[in-house]
C-alpha cells in the first residue's frame, strides 16, 4: 500500500514539476474559453431575437444551448488530444531511462504500480477538468442553469477520461518510445470515438454491438443528464479491463525483457 501511494505521489510530482501539466492545461483552457465565448455570443444574439417574439422564449434553454455543446467540446479536446500526451510517458519513460528496473525489483506488487500510475494520471486529468468549472459558474452569475446535467456531465467526463487513461497506460507499457505510444493511443481513442458513426452504417445486431462499444454513445447520456447504470457499468468495466491488461503487459515485460 505504501508503495502504491509512493508511486502515485512521485508520478503526480513529476507531472507538476515538468511543463507537461502547465502546457496541456493552458492549451485545453484556451480552446475551451474560445468555444465558450463563441457560444455565449450566439446565445445572447438568439435571446435578443426571442425577446421580440415571445413563443421563441419558451424554447430557450441555457443548458441545451451552452452547456451541452461545451461538454461535447471538452470531451473531444480532453480525451482525444490531451489524453495521449498525458499517458504516453508513463511507462515508456521508465523503460527508456532504466528506472523500470528499480520499480520491478522493489517489493511492490505489479498491480500497485499500475494503480498508482493510473491514479496519478487520473488526478491530473480531474484537476484539469476542475478548471472548467469556471464556465458554469459564470453562467450561474448571470443566469439560471440547471446543475443536475452539469454534475452528470462531469461524472461522464471523468469516467470516459479514466477509460482512455487505461488505454494510454496499456499502450505506454508496450513500448519505450513515447512518440509511438502517443500516436497509437490517439489512434485507439479516435477509433473508439468513431465507433458511434460506424454503428449507424450497420443495421441489426452488428450495429447494436458496435454502438454499445462506442464510448461516445455512453458519454452522451451523461451529457443529457441521465445517470444510467448501463453506462456506469460500461465505463467501470472498461477501466477495470484496461488496468487488468496493463498489469498483464507489465508482467510480460519480465518474461520478454
Partner 1 sequence: MIDVKNLTKRYGNFTAVRDVNFEVEKGEILGFLGPNAAGKTTTMRILTCFMPASEGTARVAGYDTFKDSLEVRRHVGYLPENAPLYLDMRVRAYLEFVAKIKDIPSRDRTKAVKRVIGLTALDDVHNKIIGHCSKGYRQRVGLAQALIHDPDVLILDEPTNGLDPKQINEVREVIKGLSGDHTIILSSHILPEVSKTCQRVLIINKGRIVAGDTPENLNARLSGSQEVSMQVRGPVKEVMAAIKQVDGVRDVKTKTSQADSLWQYDLDIEPGQDMRPALASTVVNNSWDLVELTTGGMSLEEIFLELTTQEEA
| Residue 140 makes contact with partner 1 by CB under 8 A | no
Give dist(CA 178, CA 183) in Å, integer.
9
Counting every residue written for the chain, the total comes to 257
- Among the candidate windows 63-71, 100-108, 165-173, 208-216, which touches partner 1 by CB under 8 A? 100-108
| Residue 23 makes contact with partner 1 by CB under 8 A | no
| Residue 141 makes contact with partner 1 by CB under 8 A | no
C-beta neighbour count of 178 within 10 angstroms: 20
The only residue of 26, 61, 99, 237 in contact with partner 1, by rule CB under 8 A: 99
- Among the candidate windows 6-14, 21-29, 73-81, 202-210, which touches partner 1 by CB under 8 A? 6-14
Among candidates 114, 118, 122, 79, which has minimal Cα distance to 214? 79
Among candidates 46, 42, 41, 39, which has minimal Cα distance to 74? 39
| Residue 85 makes contact with partner 1 by CB under 8 A | no
Terminal CA-to-CA distance of the chain, rounded, Å?
26
| Residue 107 makes contact with partner 1 by CB under 8 A | yes
The only residue of 20, 103, 115, 138 in contact with partner 1, by rule CB under 8 A: 103
Cell numbers found for residue 173? 507499457
**125: which DSSP letter?**
H
| Residue 22 makes contact with partner 1 by CB under 8 A | no
Shortest distance (Å) from residue 245 CB to partner 1: 20
Cell numbers found for residue 2? 505504501
Residues that bind partner 1 (CB under 8 A): 2-3, 5-7, 9-10, 14, 17-18, 97-109, 254-255, 257
Amino acid at each position: 500500500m505504501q508503495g502504491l501511494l509512493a508511486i502515485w505521489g512521485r508520478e503526480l510530482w513529476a507531472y507538476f514539476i515538468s511543463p507537461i501539466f502547465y502546457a496541456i492545461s493552458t492549451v485545453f483552457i484556451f480552446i475551451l474559453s474560445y468555444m465558450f465565448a463563441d457560444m455565449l455570443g450566439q446565445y445572447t444574439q438568439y435571446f435578443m431575437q426571442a425577446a421580440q417574439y415571445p413563443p421563441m422564449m419558451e424554447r430557450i434553454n441555457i443548458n441545451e444551448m451552452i452547456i451541452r455543446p461545451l461538454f461535447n467540446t471538452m470531451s473531444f479536446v480532453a480525451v482525444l488530444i490531451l489524453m495521449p500526451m498525458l499517458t504516453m510517458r508513463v511507462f515508456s519513460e521508465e523503460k527508456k531511462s532504466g528506472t523500470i528496473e528499480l520499480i520491478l525489483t522493489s517489493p511492490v506488487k505489479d498491480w500497485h504500480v499500475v494503480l498508482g500510475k493510473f491514479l496519478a494520471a487520473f488526478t491530473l486529468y480531474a484537476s484539469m477538468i476542475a478548471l472548467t468549472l469556471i464556465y458554469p459558474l459564470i453562467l450561474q452569475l448571470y443566469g439560471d442553469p440547471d446543475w443536475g446535467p452539469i454534475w452528470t456531465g462531469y461524472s461522464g467526463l471523468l469516467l470516459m477520461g479514466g477509460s482512455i487513461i487505461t488505454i494510454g497506460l496499456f499502450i505506454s507499457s508496450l513500448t519505450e518510445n513515447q512518440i509511438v505510444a502517443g500516436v497509437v493511443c490517439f489512434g485507439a481513442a479516435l477509433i473508439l470515438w468513431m465507433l458511434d458513426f460506424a454503428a449507424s452504417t450497420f443495421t441489426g445486431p452488428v450495429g447494436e454491438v458496435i454502438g454499445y462499444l462506442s464510448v461516445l454513445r455512453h458519454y452522451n447520456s451523461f451529457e443529457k443528464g441521465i445517470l444510467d447504470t448501463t453506462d456506469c457499468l460500461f465505463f467501470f468495466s472498461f477501466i477495470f479491463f484496461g488496468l487488468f491488461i496493463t498489469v498483464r503487459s507489465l508482467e510480460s515485460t519480465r518474461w520478454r525483457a
